[in-house]
Amino acid sequence: MWQRPGFLIRRLNQIHIALFFECCKGFEITPVQYGLLTTLSERPGLDQTSLCAEVGVDRTTMADVLRRLEERGLVKREPSPADGRQKIANITTKGRRVMNEMYESMREAQVRFLAPLDPKERAEFVRMMMLLVEGNNQYGRTSLKHFD
């Protein structure tokens, strides 16, 4: 079991999430929420379907994440000017401030996670993870747009 890629990936995810929460304590933001805030800061005005493809989560999870962020005043949703049946999301000033305040803590989690590897190994590890995601993207519950 200890050599199985799926087991190791799940374990690495657990470790990464624990480091993220340790480094980012006090912000009460999850890694998925931080990813969503980052996406909205770079690409404002996306609808829920587009956000799912950008962040790689399903519609139900996205709706819950958006609702929680909106309740905290970090995201605002409003009807799309192009299609009133859809809602578009934007990061608020407060959301951008929280995201920016968290940046160094989030980076610390990334650095600590990759610390056992030397710089060359880190680059190779990330490169190989990207190959695996790209090669298997269609099997995820939501396909990441970046890899389509």
Structure confidence by residue, pLDDT tens digits, 127-148? 999 999 999 988 887 777 765 5
For residue range 25-81, what is the model confidence (pLDDT) as tens digits?
999 999 999 999 999 999 999 999 899 989 989 999 999 999 999 999 999 999 988
pTM of the predicted model as reported, rounded to 2 decimal places: 0.89
DSSP 3: T
Domain ranges, ordered by start, for the chain: 5-115
Q: How many CB atoms lie within 10 A of CB 52?
A: 22
- Domain 5-115 is in which class? mainly alpha
Q: Give the Å distances, CA to CA, from 66 to 51, 61, 94.
A: 10, 9, 15
Backbone angles phi, psi at 96, to 5 degrees: -65, -40
